[in-house]
Chains A and B, each alone.
Chain A
Amino acid sequence: MTTTVTGAKAPTGPEPSAPASARRRRRRSSGGLARYIVIRAVLILPTIFILVSLVFFLMRSTGDPITAALGGRLTPDQLAVRIHAAGYDRPLLVQYFEYLGQIFTGNFGTTLSDNQPVTEILTHYGSATLELAFYSLIVAFIVGIPLGMVAAYFRDRGRDAALRVFAILCYATPVFFAGLLLKLIFSIWLDVLPVAGRASTGSELQMELLPHKTGIYLIDAFQTGSMAVVGDVLQHAVLPAVALGLLTAGVFLRLVRTNVIGTLSTDYVDAARSRGVGEFRLVRKHAYRPALIPIITVIGLQIALLLGGAVLTETTFEWKGLGFELAHYLQARDFVAVQGMVALLAVIVAVTNFVVDIIAALIDPRVRY
């Protein structure tokens, strides 16, 4: 091999750390999963740290948030007083370490415009976003996975082409445009589903009276015991869930298609076919199961897409969740709130990715360090 410094690491392979540690892990056969979880958990910290720092320095490089929010409305003297009171005139590094310290204790700052702690916004509106994400994942699974199997089975034929174009359309349609179209068709022209919001005012009032509110409307609706409220909540959820779900459904469709095509050509599928296993069962059982593993891994990446999509979907449907609030603070030019929420979302994304990776490792023993 080469004798230069740069070439010396070449034998370790393209990813210097991963394969080496994988080899080490194969030698030690016990305790793999626990070790994987610990390493993976430790790895979250730098991710969160980098994102939080990045957001902090980017946002602060434009100047202080008070001038941004109130710039035109106050005199320079008044501004200076406020900036000093909030401590934005101190050296940036001092502010940065203070900010890191705050985040470490779970304090993501307080909004400028309505003086609310950012974590309060999370507890108040997070459940709505969670609910929306959950519904849309269901839509994505129901639509994406069966269609992906169909496309794989009819590979390179008419049905496959149509489904692939459908998958691209799912991706190509911005969620807000899909939302607008759905609204137009089902709420305005057909008048069968509500235009916007999470529930009608009547249902919201009923749920407001519950002693143990969860904020997740479907659970709260069941708590009221009234089927009318449950129906109302579900009706409100249909359009946002479909708009956001189709986006992810396209990704799932393509993923299932590619992976099932891969497994359909394996020897064990041929063997099963020669034993007389029916074609439906071949796709459903033999080819589909192993193709699921990459999907679970990809769901982790979908969380980021889903959150981005949620911001747009919530704005379209006035679904009062984190995304709706974020858009609201963006309009109000309250950059403290924006910074806090973005940092908070970074933590959420990192943690969900961690959970998904752990699930993937539980299912597939090959995914270990």
Chain B
Amino acid sequence: MPTVSVSRKRPLLSRIPVVHQVRQSVGLQRGMLLAGLAITGIFLIAAFFAPAIAPYGFSQLHDASGSFGAQQPPSPAHIWGTTVGGYDVFSRVVWGSQTALGVIVVSVVLSIFAGIFLGLVSGYFGGWLDRVLVVVCDAVYAFPSLLLAIVMSIVISGGQSKLWGGILAAAISITVVFIPQYFRVIRAEAVRIKAEAYVESARVVGAGNGRIMFRHVLRNATRTLPLIFTLNSSEAILTLAGLGFLGFGIEPTAASEWGYDLNKALSDVTSGIWWTALYPGLAIVLVVLGVTLVGESLNDLADPRLRGRRAVAKASGDVAETSVVPGGTLAAPGGVGELEGAGLLGDDGIEVRS
């Protein structure tokens, strides 16, 4: 087979997660996806290059020309003014993106690992462990996530947060809220997949439980994860901001956190000082908006019923029916999922239509 590398997989460019979806999308859907990607990109740039972008440090109170002064209106020296604590608003907003990104990454990674592991074990083995985990996760899932995060942050940091401890505490608090979501999705998938023919044949060949679980079940169960991932990222930012707003955030000297700044801005607003509240708030709204737009668009593109109508005929062979609803519409017969599964099983070239 001279063209084996071509026929095995789609071209590299379209296998990069989002690129394929951008090409697949049309019209408004593409606009929303691109807008989301642009906002998310700006957020990531701000987070990575915060030291270069921000004119001052997040806890800097004075420079060579003296103290900044509290609640100064926007001026050339402080383009977004200064806070009641005397910090530069623009710098704190920029530095805040770093904190937010750190919390998102830590919380999502932790919850993915914990949630996937629990869901996989629970769905694959079943039995009493499954029952118990389902009941516990359902109970936690139904509970106000902010309250749970508050309880967790009390547990972890006693309600007072320092530098990385604060970021970790916030991230772990959010993780606990997210685990049930990953758990549910992965468990539902595992229950479905373990009855598939290729799992049976793997068992007949003599594969152990561990190999079947991670190689056959997990690999086929992760299709919906990117969607939950984006939706959770936005929820992580909101929960972090909520915690900060209630005074459970990160100390201003340790890191910059938007929710904390908004808490401090609460009293400013009553005296008509708008710049301390507006900018950190807008930062939260924009980042959540951007990440959610990406997530929503990916979700819609993965679901033929929601995809832009003109695109359905063009690309319908490519994407199996997916749904973030646990145990949802995944049983599409002859869908690509099964093809990919077969490809994984044999570990050699079964051509996937593109």
Contacts and interface: CB of A to CB of B under 8 A. Distances in A.
B245 interface: yes
A59 B289 contact: no
A59 B245 contact: no
B284 interface: yes
Contact of A168 (B146, B155, B274, B296): B296
A51 B139 contact: yes
A174 B144 contact: no
Contacts of B308: 156
Nearest to B286: A172
Interface stretch (B57-65, B77-85, B265-273): B265-273
A165 B272 CA distance: 29
Contacts of A165: 32, 289, 293
Interface string B136-155: 10111011111100111011
A263 to B, nearest CB: 13
Contacts, number: 180
The secondary-structure label for the interface of chain A is: helix
A50 B139 contact: yes
Interface stretch (A135-143, A177-185, A215-223): A177-185
Interface stretch (A80-88, A114-122, A307-315): A307-315
Contacts of A50: 135-136, 139-140
A283 to B, nearest CB: 18
A46 B248 CA distance: 30
B168 interface: no
Interface in A149-183: 156-158, 160-161, 164-165, 168-169, 171-174, 176-177, 180-181, 183
Contact of B246 (A160, A195, A307, A327): A327
Contacts of B146: 308, 311-312
Interface stretch (A105-113, A198-206, A328-336): A328-336
B269 A188 contact: yes
B195 A7 contact: yes
B27 interface: yes
B39 to A, nearest CB: 10
B151 A169 contact: no
A345 B159 contact: no
B269 A333 contact: no
Given A62-B154, A183-B269, A7 B200 contact: yes
The secondary-structure label for the interface of chain B is: helix
A47 interface: yes
Interface string A27-49: 00000000000000000001100
Nearest to B176: A58
A180 B273 CA distance: 11
Most buried by B among A6, A16, A196, A301: A6
B342 to A, nearest CB: 18
B14 to A, nearest CB: 24
Nearest to A345: B147
Given A156-B308, A195-B270, A331-B247, A10 B28 contact: no
A177 B195 contact: no
A54 B309 CA distance: 47
Contacts of A335: 154
A305 B143 CA distance: 8
B11 interface: no
A177 B262 CA distance: 7
Contacts of A316: 266
Contact of B144 (A15, A156, A308, A330): A308
A7 B283 CA distance: 50
Contacts of A164: 32, 296
Given A6-B126, A15-B327, A168 B293 contact: yes
A301 to B, nearest CB: 7
A55 interface: yes
Interface string A258-275: 100110000000000000
B48 interface: no
Interface string B227-267: 00000001000100110011110000000000100100110
Interface stretch (A92-100, A229-237, A285-293, A346-354): A346-354
Contact of A338 (B28, B125, B139, B150): B150
Which interface class (under 10, 10 to 19, 20 to 34, 35 or more) fits A?
Answer: 35 or more
B285 interface: yes
B270 A183 contact: yes
B294 to A, nearest CB: 11
Contact of B285 (A177, A258, A261): A177
B158 A68 contact: yes
A69 B125 CA distance: 44
B218 to A, nearest CB: 15
Given A2-B200, A183-B270, A342-B151, A169 B289 contact: yes
A1 B286 CA distance: 51
A14 interface: yes
Contacts of B72: none
Contacts of B135: 46-47, 50
B285 A169 contact: yes
Contacts of B293: 165, 168
Interface stretch (B2-10, B109-117, B186-194, B345-353): B186-194
Given A62-B154, A172-B289, 17 more contacts: A46-B139, A51-B143, A54-B136, A59-B154, A62-B155, A160-B28, A165-B32, A165-B289, A171-B292, A180-B269, A184-B277, A188-B270, A195-B270, A330-B159, A330-B246, A346-B143, A353-B142
14 contacts: A1-B195, A4-B203, A6-B126, A7-B195, A7-B203, A47-B138, A50-B140, A165-B289, A174-B259, A183-B270, A304-B143, A307-B144, A312-B246, A345-B147
Interface of A: 1-2, 4, 6-7, 9-10, 14-16, 46-47, 50-51, 54-55, 58-59, 61-62, 68, 156-158, 160-161, 164-165, 168-169, 171-174, 176-177, 180-181, 183-184, 187-189, 195-196, 258, 261-262, 301, 304-305, 307-308, 311-312, 315-316, 326-327, 330-331, 333, 335, 338, 342, 345-346, 349-350, 353
Interface of B: 27-29, 31-32, 124-126, 135-136, 138-140, 142-147, 150-152, 154-155, 158-159, 188, 191-192, 194-195, 200, 203, 234, 238, 241-242, 245-248, 259, 262, 265-266, 269-270, 272, 274, 277-278, 281, 284-286, 288-289, 292-293, 296, 305-306, 308-309, 327
* A-B CB proximity, top 7 nearest: A177-B281, A172-B288, A308-B146, A308-B144, A10-B195, A50-B139, A172-B289
